[in-house]
Structure formats: structure tokens, C-alpha cells
Amino acid sequence: MNPFTQVSSNRSFGGHQKVLRHASRALGCDMNVGVYLPPQAESGRCPVLYWLSGLTCTEQNFVTKAGAQEHAARHGIIVVAPDTSPRGEGVADDPAYDLGQGAGFYVDATTEPWARHYRMHEYVALELPALVEAHLPASPDRRGIFGHSMGGHGALTLALRHPGRYRSVSAFSPIVAPSRVPWGEKAFSAYLGSNREAWKAWDATELVREAKERLPILIDQGDADQFLTRELQPELLRAACEAAGHPLTLRMQPGYDHSYYFIATFMRDHVEHHAAALR
């Protein structure tokens, strides 16, 4: 039985941009997922590229603003863009934009009231790919992952925590050291508790030191990003990668900010980065 219900479907660059809905066991709620099926998916299985969005976003931000469909169609890649957190009645929330619904941080929460639903790591790494590969024309052994801001943090940590699961990884404006910046400190304190040692398992600058796989990382960061100095600090990941001998391409893009205008500008480069590894 197919667990997905179609919410919408629109023809795009010869393929179809869909929004699907399903019940998530890991999260204990229903979830929306943006799925772009390129024209090549009509005749065979295609590689899958997972996109993780940032704070306050749903699946719609990427679907409508990133401009990924044209590039995915050219390379025959399925793009899967889940929501950023569990949602719905009974799901814990907070009035602030950077905690609760819309701010799952791609961790598995261990403290109440968050632990019951906030298991975004399990959902993105395990549950969602299993459903995608069982019910969509997706190759089970050709996965890439990328994301923006909080989602860039998620993409980096998932790739580093699961060697061999992804063939490629990249990020736009990622939170590279969440255990050392205010956004991450707030979220980790709530979701994971006060033990900072436990936070290291969800911090890319810590994980890269012990990485068992040297998957090349591509990062684009705007130098006019309003969050650059306080929340993002890509130089921390550069230093950690240099110390560990981990391949990193960090491109500082002059004049660009934190918005989807920036993401859309360099989306082609990122899809091509993944396509080269997913062929």
C-alpha cells in the first residue's frame, strides 16, 4: 500500500513537481514532502537528492523559490524536500521562530516535551528514504544531500554521521558549529539537554575530526549574509577540515545574503556537484 497521498502536482521542465503527504512513524504526525520527478523517472529509477530547509521554512520555500527543477530535469535527479519539523495538534511548540515547529534542527530530541515528536534525524536519514525508495522510482544506492542554514547543518551532520549512505553533500550558508553559536545553543539546550558533550554528536566541526569517510564538501556562503558573524562562522569548519585533512570547497560569494535569491543563483553549481557523484 502506497503511504503517500498527493496534495498537488504541477508539470515542470518535462517532469512533475509534487507535494506528497504521509503519516510519519518517527515523528508521530503527518508530514508534507516536496518531490520533483524528472522526465527520466517515467522510464527508470533515478538518483535522489535530499534538500533540508532552514528555520521557519516548510517544503514550499524550496519548491517555489530555489529553481532546482530545471537543473534536476537536465541531470535526471529526483529532488526530495521534506518539511523542517513535525507539526500539528499535540506537537510541542514555542513562540520563538528558532525553536519548535519550523525549527527541528535535524536532531533526535532526548528531553521533554520534545522527545515524543522531534526526531528529524531519524526521519530524514532512515524513514523517509525507505519510503521514497519503496514507492517512487528512486535508486536505493544513489543518494545526495544538501541544505540551507539550519538545513545546511542537517545535511553536513547526516552525511558525516552516516558514512557510505550518501555519495555527495553540499550546503548554502550552513550553521557549521551549532554548539558554539546562539541558534544552536538554544536549540540543543532544549532538545538535547545541558550536557554539552552530547551536543558534539550533532556538530559538523566536531564530527569531521573523526569522520570515517572523506566525502568532499561544497559550501557557498554570501559575505553580506546578516547572520554570518554571529550564527554561521564558516571559518570554524574550514579550520576543522584543514586539521582533519577533510576535502572542503568553501566559496565566499561577494554581496550575497541569506535569502533564496542567493540559493537560486548558485543552485546549478550544487546540482552539478551532486550529479557528478550520483551518475
Catalytic residue positions?
A: 149, 225, 258
**Could you count the other beta carbons within 10 Å of the beta carbon of residue 231?**
22
Helix (H) and strand (E) counts in the chain: 10, 9
Query: How many CB atoms within 10 Å of residue 30?
Result: 14
> Quick count: other Cβ atoms within 10 Å of Cβ 76?
19
Q: Which residues contact 185 (CB under 8 A, 6 or more apart)?
A: 178, 179
Per the CB < 8 A criterion, the answer to whether 104 and 93 are in contact is no
Burial of 253 per CB tally in 10 Å (0-12, 13-18, 19+): middle
CA dist., res. 175 & res. 141, Å (int)? 28
Instruction: Report the C-alpha gap between 34 and 124 in whole angstroms.
Output: 13
Phi, psi of 22 (to 5 degrees): -155, 160
